[in-house]
Amino acid sequence: MKMQQFLQFLTQQLTHWRRQYKGLRRKGKLMRSPKGKSHIRELLRTMFKNIFLFLSKTNDKSNRRKQERALRSKIKSVKTKSSICAVGLDWAHEQRYSVILAIALVSLTGIIGHKLYNQTQLQVGHPAPQTITAPYTDSIEDQKKTEAKRKAVSKSSLQVLMLDARMNEQINENLQQLLDDGNEIRAVAGAFPFFDPVLSISTQRYLRSCPDLEWQALLLAVENSKNQQKKGTGGTAASSRPSSIAAPNQERQPRTTPPKSDSQSPQKKEPVDFSQNTDFTQAVAELESYRLTTSEKSLSLLIAQISQTRQRYTQATAKLLQLETVGSEAVYEESLLLDLSDVEWEKTQMGIHQSTERILTQGIPQGLPKNILQDAVSLQLQTFVPESAETLAKNLLLAVLKPNLQKDEEQTRQNAQKAAAGVPPVMVKVRHGEAIVKRGEQISAWNFEVLEHYHLIRREVKWQELLKLGGVIAIAIGIFVWIERHIDYELRQRDRLLVLLLTLSVPGVIVIGLPYTTWSALGLLLGSFYGPTLGLTVVGLLWPILGISLDMSKAALLAGVGGGILGSYIAQRLRSREELALLGVAIALTQGGIYLIVKILIGQVFGSIWYIILQEAGLFALSGLGWSVVALGLSPYLEKVFDLVTPIRLAELANPNRPLLKRLATETPGTFQHTLLVATLAEAAAKELGCNVELVRAGTLYHDIGKMHDPLGFIENQMGGPNKHDTEIKDPWKSAEIIKKHVTEGLVMARKHLLPTAIQAFIPEHQGTMLIAYFHHQAQQMAQEDPSLTVDDADFRYDGPIPQSRETGIVMLADSCEAALRSLQASAKPLGEKRSLKDVSTEQALTMLNNILRAKWQENQLVDSGLTREEMSQIAQIFVDVWQQFHHKRIAYPKLKASSTGRNS
């Protein structure tokens, strides 16, 4: 009994709630109530709780009655709250456009003007309204002095130097070039010493480089010495012969006669006496000694060799003067380069390389005094270079050595930061009751720090500034609304909400503190979803607002705006994700390039921080690419959530490999062929009238998918077989219901496969509210024969709606005209043995199509589509032109006679 009473009460309450639920849902109120689900959940929880209490066999009637009263009160409160929410949401739904505009105004003002919420009344440089004293004693950091002290320590920290590899390479190249020049000059002079056995190095050096006058005198002295020796040993015959020893290519010199007195020959010049020159006398003695130890012939050969060496030496000295190597005239001197032996020169070169390597490894800093560098070079050369070559080697090194140490900016900065971090803060003690600032005095930075420390800074909301900012944003929103009403694309409330969310992302990222904001994603998504006009409008309106409201780099702002403009302008023209990815690369290059150009124009690139500017430009380029990738990743999800169609998504939906289209081609091949022909006609008309061709293509492919519920109920799928409407159904009302059902079933399939609303619209709107004339006529005939039957036109009309866009209107016309054009083609029949084509003139086809289109117009099927009466004739002509292209005349081939073999087979 108790169980029965409780269940009866529960049934009554559930019945009442179910009726209320159906009523609210039928009016469309319950689903819009954000709290409806929570109230229902609370009600169910209460009911389950009462059931549990009842099943626990509690005999206390008073407790049970309390639970019943609580349940009734809960249901009553749910009714009241749900009704209030429903009324409020109904009003919000009616005013939803104004609500979204208000939300846009408040949210944009709130985010862009975030700094105006917590502004201080007391500011640095303004007079104090009253004397303010310290509420308690405390030590406060003097940030200005602390910062100054840390800057001083940072500047005084040692610089970190690093070797410049490129400078070292340049120094080594220059040094090697100088040494190559020296080798070339020494190669012209020939090997040295040129004669090893007897003549000393000093004598050979003298004989090779002495003047021609000394050389001739030396040859004459050697020959006189030889003649005197012959006179002492021997005969007059020998003394009467001229000397056979002479310099090559020169005339023989007469013997030297004893000098005469001035009185005897005043016109003749006295010969030069070289006997006081030690090098001269040593050379004569060594040559004489060589003659005595060898023979006259050997001496003659030696003199010839010396003459050749002297010629080569002269050429080398001439080349040394003409050499045009940088610094070579100051580096190489005849006495330093050519006087070294070949062994000494090899050691000198090796020593120079070793010294250079050690000096460059130790490093040469900028601004090193010249004398210190000279001392360092001399010290190094003493170890590796022969003493006779030290001067030459020193000249060579000083000519090529340059500072090879450069400042390591990053390491120096880290050291400076570390040194600055080690500086303790400068603390100032402020006592209780001490005046921080007196009335009328200007508030200094230190006063402001103390007031901030004691939380004595009065903060307030700058309502006036917020109102000004709100006014500017309201003007921008007004411009956006005006442009929205003048573009072809009609925005829904969800579209406006998405535009707002994407717009808020730009200042939102800036408020977070990231300078690389979402301009590229904003432009790419808005341009892809709603076209270039809307995208450029949003970017163009947001640009000046952010420029005057937020503290951000103008170069960064221009770079971001440039990327957003490029994305808005080009995005909707692209037809694949790959092209959008390439657009992301173009946006990245645009942002980085604009940032760099702006910095060049203001002259910052040519300063000491040029590499930082280049780094920032690279980061802006990477940010543009990164946000473009984010936009590409979000695009499919936004398309699904906000029910958007983009050219790329339409191209994907029109892919014949989509599951729904594959089923259509397999299960209803006749309908699929009909769909392709209708798509061809509709595309041509849409292209000519400037409509959305991709939308027309995709919508047409799906407009008859509902015929898959009963393929044989439509004549194009019967393939010449019996018509089930004539053989099985034989009831025009049932046949009309089957025909009408292809619209409702098509919508069910479309929703099941999550097709966009824009595509779903083609399914009911391509039929509009037209009459199913064939079965309507059958029903009227049956009603004439049987008066008990009544014909209601509503039973034979599609439920609509009529076409609401130019695209769906074009598909309606193409769907109607395709069957008529197919009937014209079917009028060509074979006649006996001779095959002839019944000519159908263009005028006949055009007249028939104009009649069909006129009927649609007169039935008011196109009144909401946006198509004009003048465009009807244009569409008819387009359909005829396309039909002629598909069904052109063919050449009549002659009939071939069958061979005897063919007849017998």
Give yes or no for residue 204 having a pLDDT over 80. yes
Look at residues 727, 783, 549, 523 and name the one whose alpha carbon lies nearest to residue 630: 523
State how far the Cα of 216 lies from the Cα of 261, in Å rounded to an integer. 24
pLDDT band at 500 (very low <50, low <70, confident <90, very high): very high
The per-residue pLDDT for 498 is 92
State how far the Cα of 353 lies from the Cα of 391, in Å rounded to an integer. 15
For 891, the token pair is 């050449």
Whether omega for the bond prior to residue 764 falls within 30 degrees of 0, making it cis, is: no
Give yes or no for residue 811 having a pLDDT over 90. yes
Residue for token pair 């439920």: 799
More confident residue, 436 or 685: 685
Identity (one letter) of the amino acid at 607? Answer: G
Give yes or no for residue 81 having a pLDDT over 60. no
331-368: pLDDT as tens digits: 676 567 787 888 888 988 898 889 888 888 888 888 88
Give yes or no for residue 378 having a pLDDT over 80. yes
Highest mean pLDDT among 143-157, 329-343, 447-461: 143-157
Give yes or no for residue 491 having a pLDDT over 50. yes
Enclosing H/E stretch for 103: helix 96-112
State how far the Cα of 343 lies from the Cα of 192, in Å rounded to an integer. 9
Enclosing H/E stretch for 460: strand 459-460
SS3 assignment, position 685: helix
429-444: pLDDT as tens digits: 888 888 888 888 887 8
State how far the Cα of 801 lies from the Cα of 768, in Å rounded to an integer. 5
Q: Which neighbouring-strand residues pair with 9?
A: none
Give yes or no for residue 26 having a pLDDT over 50. no
Q: Which residues of 504-527 are buried (b: 16+ CB within 10 A; e: fewer)?
A: bbbbbbbeeeebbbbbbbbbbbbb
For 75-79, 191-195, 534-538, 736-740, which range has the lowest pLDDT when averaged over its residues? Answer: 75-79
Averaged pLDDT of the chain: 78
State how far the Cα of 8 lies from the Cα of 13, in Å rounded to an integer. 9
Highest mean pLDDT among 258-272, 547-561, 628-642: 628-642
Given a contact cutoff of 8 angstroms between Cβ atoms, the answer to whether 770 and 798 are in contact is yes
pLDDT band at 59 (very low <50, low <70, confident <90, very high): very low
Averaged pLDDT, 105-119: 81
State how far the Cα of 400 lies from the Cα of 393, in Å rounded to an integer. 11
State how far the Cα of 772 lies from the Cα of 741, in Å rounded to an integer. 12
The per-residue pLDDT for 242 is 36
Given a contact cutoff of 8 angstroms between Cβ atoms, the answer to whether 116 and 459 are in contact is no
Q: Phi and psi at residue 129, in whole multiples of 5°?
A: -70, -20
More confident residue, 763 or 32: 763
More confident residue, 882 or 57: 882
Q: Phi and psi at residue 16, in whole multiples of 5°?
A: -60, -45
Q: Which neighbouring-strand residues pair with 119?
A: 460
Averaged pLDDT, 719-736: 79
Give yes or no for residue 326 having a pLDDT over 50. no
Surface-to-core class of residue 903, CB atoms within 10 Å of its CB (0-12 exposed, 13-18 middle, 19+ buried): exposed
State how far the Cα of 172 lies from the Cα of 411, in Å rounded to an integer. 27
pTM: 0.56
The per-residue pLDDT for 603 is 67
The per-residue pLDDT for 502 is 93
Give yes or no for residue 858 having a pLDDT over 60. yes
The per-residue pLDDT for 273 is 63
Helices 493-512 and 96-112: angle between axes, nearest 10 degrees: 10
pLDDT band at 420 (very low <50, low <70, confident <90, very high): confident
For 16-20, 158-162, 216-220, 854-858, which range has the lowest pLDDT when averaged over its residues? Answer: 16-20
The CA distances from residue 708 to 16, 311, 660, 800, 822, in Å, are 41, 111, 10, 20, 22
More confident residue, 274 or 850: 850
129-145: pLDDT as tens digits: 778 888 888 888 888 88
State how far the Cα of 320 lies from the Cα of 314, in Å rounded to an integer. 10
Averaged pLDDT, 150-158: 79
The per-residue pLDDT for 281 is 87
Look at residues 52, 73, 75 and name the one whose alpha carbon lies nearest to residue 6: 52
**Percent of the chain predicted with pLDDT > 70:** 77
Helices 278-293 and 296-322: angle between axes, nearest 10 degrees: 140
Q: Which residues of 802-816 are buried (b: 16+ CB within 10 A; e: fewer)?
A: bbbbbbbbbbbbbbb
More confident residue, 586 or 791: 586
Surface-to-core class of residue 118, CB atoms within 10 Å of its CB (0-12 exposed, 13-18 middle, 19+ buried): exposed
For 642, the token pair is 């906000």
Q: What is the 3-class SS of 735-749, one letter each residue?
A: HHHHHHHHHHHHHHH
366 contacts: CB under 8 Å, gap ≥ 6: 403, 405, 406
431 contacts: CB under 8 Å, gap ≥ 6: 134, 137
Region at 619 (left for phi over 0; alpha for psi -120 to 50; beta for the rest): alpha
Give yes or no for residue 50 having a pLDDT over 80. no
Give yes or no for residue 190 having a pLDDT over 70. yes
The per-residue pLDDT for 772 is 85
578-605: pLDDT as tens digits: 888 888 899 999 988 898 888 888 766 5
Rg (CA), the chain: 54
Given a contact cutoff of 8 angstroms between Cβ atoms, the answer to whether 126 and 522 are in contact is no
The CA distances from residue 343 to 198, 207, 386, 449, 732, in Å, are 19, 20, 10, 78, 122
State how far the Cα of 210 lies from the Cα of 229, in Å rounded to an integer. 26
The per-residue pLDDT for 462 is 76
| DSSP state letter for 727 | I
Give yes or no for residue 248 having a pLDDT over 90. no
What are the helix and strand counts (H, E) for the chain?
38, 10
Enclosing H/E stretch for 884: helix 869-886
**Percent of the chain predicted with pLDDT > 90:** 12
Surface-to-core class of residue 158, CB atoms within 10 Å of its CB (0-12 exposed, 13-18 middle, 19+ buried): exposed
586 contacts: CB under 8 Å, gap ≥ 6: 566, 570
The per-residue pLDDT for 27 is 44
The per-residue pLDDT for 83 is 58
Surface-to-core class of residue 180, CB atoms within 10 Å of its CB (0-12 exposed, 13-18 middle, 19+ buried): exposed
Averaged pLDDT, 257-263: 38
For 625, the token pair is 């690419």
| DSSP state letter for 442 | B
Termini Cα distance of the chain: 94
The per-residue pLDDT for 700 is 93
The per-residue pLDDT for 565 is 92
